[in-house]
């Protein structure tokens, strides 16, 4: 399966946001999720795991250019227990931004992902 597009849910300055349902993403290398037109320093991703077992999520290193620190490699795999959620981010664009302007993450089990964009100004 190809990577699944995960759209942004914009957090609202001085306001609120009803919890979004999220987007189902498949597990394994080459699968997972992709946030298009990403603003890594303003991005937090929520991963919810209801797969029946613990899983991990890994944010992939970007491409040079534009990610000049891509050589540092992928982010350390974050553990997400069964029946729980984890939040990862914000991220460093100089390490994780892909050549097409996206962020890519892969999961070891099927999960539900939501990408939140944090407003720069309040």
Domains and CATH numbers, the chain: 4-13+21-117 (2.60.290)
Q: How confident is the model at residue 121 (pLDDT cuts 50, 70, 90)?
A: confident
Q: Confirm if 113 and 45 have CB atoms less than 8 A apart.
A: yes
Euclidean distance between CA atoms 86 and 59, whole angstroms: 13
pLDDT per position as a tens digit, 16-67: 899 999 999 999 999 999 999 999 999 999 999 999 999 999 999 999 989 9
**Residue 56's pLDDT is what?**
96
Whole-structure pTM value: 0.93
**Residue 120's pLDDT is what?**
83
CA distances from 105 to 31, 60, 120, 121 (A): 8, 6, 23, 27
Intra-chain end-to-end CA distance of the chain, in Å: 39
DSSP tag of 73: -
């Amino acid at each position: 399966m190809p990577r699944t597009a995960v759209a942004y849910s914009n957090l609202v300055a001085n306001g609120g946001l009803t919890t979004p349902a999220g987007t189902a993403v498949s597990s394994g290398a080459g699968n997972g999720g992709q946030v298009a037109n990403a603003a890594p320093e303003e991005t937090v991703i929520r991963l919810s795991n209801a797969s029946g077992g613990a899983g991990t999520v890994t944010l992939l290193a970007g491409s040079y250019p534009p990610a000049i620190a891509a050589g540092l490699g992928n982010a350390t795999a974050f553990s997400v227990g069964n029946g729980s959620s984890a939040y990862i981010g914000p991220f460093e664009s100089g390490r994780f931004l892909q050549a097409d302007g996206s962020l890519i993450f892969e999961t070891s089990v099927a999960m539900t992902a939501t990408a939140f964009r944090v407003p720069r100004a309040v």
